Amino acid sequence: MGIYLNPQNETVLAAVLERIYVKTGKKFIFLIDEWDCMMRERQESEDLQRQYLDFLRDLLKDQPYVALAYMTGILPVKKYGQHSALNMFWEYSMMDQDFFEEYTGFTETEVKELCDCYDMDFDGLRADMIQMLVGAHIKVSTYSFQNDMCNFRTKDDVLTLLIHLGYLTYDSVREEAFIPNREIAREFETSMSVGGWLV
């Protein structure tokens, strides 16, 4: 099957996927990691954000070729600027992940047990997180981090992982971590409140 270009030599992805679906009868599964990268990195450009949201909507909304669209990101799917959001998703937050708890990550009890087992300062991590919530920068040693999600020997390893995941910003000159913006701070507040870390 050929892919045909429009007169401006632009391929319209949605049209191509629909033709493939019509010809084969097979639907597509879309996996989009960090769907919100444009919203975070181009905050000043509402026009680019609008184009991106239009692209996602045209690609995914009410399309017969979509079996499933799974998107991950830090920011929730919501209205951006004057432009309406993607309203065809069920949203699950890893900050309130009771529904997925047994399938992803560790429960709070398991984390405490692991901290005790490996002599990690669980309460020190809590204290650092609370300090960052009020705007403090926390000294972090990133050198012992094993670049995986399994080997945590110190609270610095946990903080380094949060830096890698984009939940914390890192000042490499001062070797300090901090919460980058109010939106992420709210997610930390919610998570810590649900987990009983905020009193």
SS3 68: strand
166: number of CA atoms within 13 Å, CB side? 11
- Residue whose tokens read 């990101």: 73
Amino acid at 68: L
CA distance 86 to 70: 13
Secondary element (H or E) of residue 193: helix 182-194
22: number of CA atoms within 13 Å, CB side? 8
Please state, rounded to an integer, the average pLDDT across all residues of the chain.
78
At residue 1 the predicted structure's pLDDT band, cuts being 50, 70 and 90, is very low
- Model confidence at 9: pLDDT above 70: no
Provide the pLDDT for residue 129.
Answer: 85
Is pLDDT larger for residue 188 or for residue 85?
A: 188
The pTM of this model reads 0.47
